[in-house]
Amino acid sequence: MTVKELQSFFKEHLVPSKLYTFGKGHDGRICLTKVGEIWELYFMDHKEKIGLMKFSDENSACLKMKDELRKIMESIYEITWVPKKA
């Protein structure tokens, strides 16, 4: 999965854009950024990266972000999509 595919998925599943961002950190959101050859996934809280996870490939980072947003959607809005089995 690529960032572009993930963006399309979030739009199709009505995930509010206020929950996430791509390419740069944004306070109060789940962020997916690329630093050199490493993909970073984290929650930005007052310029601090909370729960920082690092990935060597785009696919792994996107799948983890998708799963994290699924959990958030379920806990906040009580709606979700069914995760695909690997």
For the segment 56-65, what is each residue's pLDDT rounded down to a tens digit? 999 999 999 9
Query: How many structural domains does the chain have?
Result: 1
Facing residues of 43 across strands? Answer: 30, 50
The predicted-structure confidence for 35-57, as pLDDT tens digits, reads as follows 999 999 999 999 999 999 999 99
Query: Residue 83 pLDDT more than 80?
Result: no
Q: Which of 58, 65, 64, 57 is nearest to 19 (CA)?
A: 65
Residue 86 maps to a domain: no
Which has more pLDDT, 37 or 82? 37
Asked, for residue 9, whether it belongs to a domain, the answer is: yes
Torsion of CA 11, 14, 16, 22, to 10 degrees: -20
- Dihedral over Cα of 3, 29, 37, 61: its sign: negative
**Domain limits at 33?**
3-77
Domain assignment of residue 83, yes or no: no
Please report whether residue 82 resides in a domain: no
Q: What is the pLDDT of residue 79?
A: 81
- In this structure, the dihedral spanned by the alpha carbons of residues 83, 19, 75 and 6, taken in order and rounded to 10 degrees, is 0
Q: Is residue 21 part of a domain?
A: yes
